[in-house]
Structure 1
């Protein structure tokens, strides 16, 4: 008998949701045959069976979210009778909460500490470990981001554990509920709502007189919105944010709160790049099966510049900056407006222009067809996001944590420019010109370093003989 466990689906993924079982108890399974499908906040992927045998038991059902390493099913040598999952479930539960003793010294006394009437206000502080419940890092992050009280969230996971779906359902219920009865459950979170922590400070003094009457919960509810609530009109349609949008939003808010974002922009004359693109257009399509865009040229220039500016190819640590030896280039891919993924071109520093173009094409195709694996999304050291196809002028991106910088490539258009010939003479020419925008973490370096890096990227794009790489 062998246990099938939730695999590690990327370096930053701590849990996964079973979305589909391809086999049922009693079915024969071959090694490397797809056994189940798992979904995380980063990727949906099919997981193959590690060995051949008969699926004896399914422990974690479809729709359940569990931590990495949790036992999902059992594969045996023979057609073992499928035992009732309800009876067998406690076995893995005993293993999953094994680390529970560590969180036991939870600040349980924190609730009695504020004995006065405003006692409910500090409630969110012990929320992640309330009632001794163990939370995964992702669940804890969502709870803290949305200032929820875990004591009010029913757990649907193994042994009553709170899963990501439970937290998201609680967020949906809170945001969609208009009844006064639902307000007290989430009321303690309002004073320190991380989504409005900056603007809420000046808003607090105004309602403070009414808040002085602790016996009236309605008075404490007044300061919760940072701005006046919007009442939908008769022709308006209200759409609840889906789970992908909530997770993306939480990640973006966390990045903006953690990193002091600064911006550096340069204008690039792509005329040399454009001439090479035109000269090889038909041949490249015939050989590769796709068009050669500006993005591979920009990627190649960025990779070379990163070697000269190692603090750009870095991640923030705990009071430190980790300078990466390899350049693993994350390429942001839009999923038809339904989400965003950033698969990684690995060891980009070892690849020339054509190879980088192939990798970008392959990753984008697999991202849109949901065929990326967890390793395709892990380990990025610098991110490129491209909205130039929409003709944008300047897009200011948000850093992909824990990286320290991200570059946006904007639209390229034909513009009049001053052209200097070899003798110093000047004339007006029509060239292909566009902007590059770098968002960077001011904790890692200063503006002069960012400007020098962008100047180097611009120089490479404008002066290199790109025909030698094609």
Structure 2
């Protein structure tokens, strides 16, 4: 369902237990990472049992239903799946019973003896660990106390499950204050005021979780440059009508931005990366995500795949198609999957510049401000002159774990150079 997706919500079942279906029939609808997906039947058969109901949140990889299908090969495979599921359910009770007894046996002395020095030295937690922790309401502070057996002190899934099975002995443990001068988070009670209470919808909750996770994971640093967009603006204004008549596509600034960013990414491939523990994964493909506002006001990031291999016509077609799908709430799972670098055009809202939050698991995101005419000093053959130019601020937020100031600054400057050096005589 996507690189960063760890769970989905069942919207509703379209068939009931005991109902028969044909191959390709839609069995249920699932909401994952801002997109609703229809799940088709893999073969003809009957729905034997549903293991989750509508509105249930299910981790990726869990069995959600048992099907009895007509093909012999499928049936054999399904019987194994059903047996595995039943075994999993049968094991559930003794594990819970064991957890309760373990929890009851934890002594107060064990809790009181915990000190801050018992925390893990490696506090990087994988998305899978964080997902399991959220499901069991385990805080980052509690995660840091769990004994880790992974490479270089990393917490493994088996460590977390063992800790849960043992009754979470450090759940209520308080760190011993070693240094009386150390900073402590004040326990403040804020007056949040009175007014209309609006419950966050599912998408807003997912956005909130993703943003908090990104700020917690990546040390954000932002670099700023400004670019003279006059050549690009003049060329686009002069050719947008002819472009639409020739190709049947609107020529906005977005495909021009995507084209320039893809070129800069090829020049600085290490900006097109993600982090896996102590490893950096430099991506083979350049897939540019475009932060896009939905009619509801929520944000989504459709992706232009292999942007560096497409000409301006293909980019314009791709961008317009994705924008139309976003407006009509028709984006599919593939449309928002696989982004390696993201741009956010905050200028469409009138913002001069922005400080964007990195779209995990990427390592950088570029914000493009409003294009605004300003008097600027320019160099001419007759000397310096003041002229009216179309100017724009660019701001690049990058993950300082793997992107240093030189790489971040050089990359955003290169994007600005491609904007400024736009060929005013370019053919459409």
Task: Name the TM-score, length of structure 1 as normaliser.
Answer: 0.68
3-state DSSP class of the match of 2:269? coil
Which residue of 400, 408, 412 corresponds with 1:450?
408
Find out whether 1:94 has 2:87 as its counterpart.
Answer: yes
3-state DSSP class of the match of 1:383? strand
3-state DSSP class of the match of 1:311? helix
Counterpart position of 1:401: 360
Q: CA deviation at 1:65?
A: 2.8
Q: What CA RMSD, in Å, does the superposition of the two structures yield over aligned residues?
A: 3.9
Q: CA deviation at 1:91?
A: 7.4
Which residue of 37, 48, 60 corresponds with 1:45?
37
Which residue of 229, 233, 241 corresponds with 2:190?
229
Kept in 2: contact 1:70–1:96 (CA 8 A): no
Q: CA deviation at 1:202?
A: 3.6
Larger deviation, residues 101-110 vs 311-320: 101-110
Closer, same or farther in 2 for the Cα pair 1:69/1:429, shift >3 Å? same
Distance 1:424 1:112 in 2: 84
Which residue of 411, 420, 423 corresponds with 1:462?
420
Counterpart position of 1:332: 291
Report 1:11-160 matches (<5 A): 11-25=3-17, 27-55=19-47, 57-67=49-59, 68-77=61-70, 92-95=85-88, 112=106, 114-115=108-109, 138-141=131-134, 143-144=137-138
Gaps of 5+ in 1: 1-8, 79-88, 126-134, 150-187, 193-199, 205-222
Q: CA deviation at 1:51?
A: 2.4
Counterpart position of 1:131: none
Report 1:370-389 matches (<5 A): 370-389=329-348
Q: CA deviation at 1:49?
A: 2.1
Kept in 1: contact 2:112–2:173 (CA 8 A): no
Distance 1:100 1:469 in 2: 70
3-state DSSP class of the match of 1:394? coil
Counterpart position of 2:350: 391
Question: How many residues of Structure 1 are paired with residues of Structure 2 in the alignment?
Answer: 372
Task: Name the TM-score, length of structure 2 as normaliser.
Answer: 0.74
Gaps of 5+ in 2: 72-81, 120-127, 144-170, 176-181
Distance 1:372 1:404 in 2: 24
Closer, same or farther in 2 for the Cα pair 1:418/1:106, shift >3 Å? farther
Find out whether 1:440 has 2:412 as its counterpart.
Answer: no
Counterpart position of 1:270: 229
Post-superposition CA distance 1:411-453 (Å, at most 9, x none)? 11111122323x2533222222111110001111221221111
Closer, same or farther in 2 for the Cα pair 1:436/1:251, shift >3 Å? same
Kept in 2: contact 1:265–1:435 (CA 8 A): yes
Closer, same or farther in 2 for the Cα pair 1:428/1:59, shift >3 Å? same
Counterpart position of 2:157: none
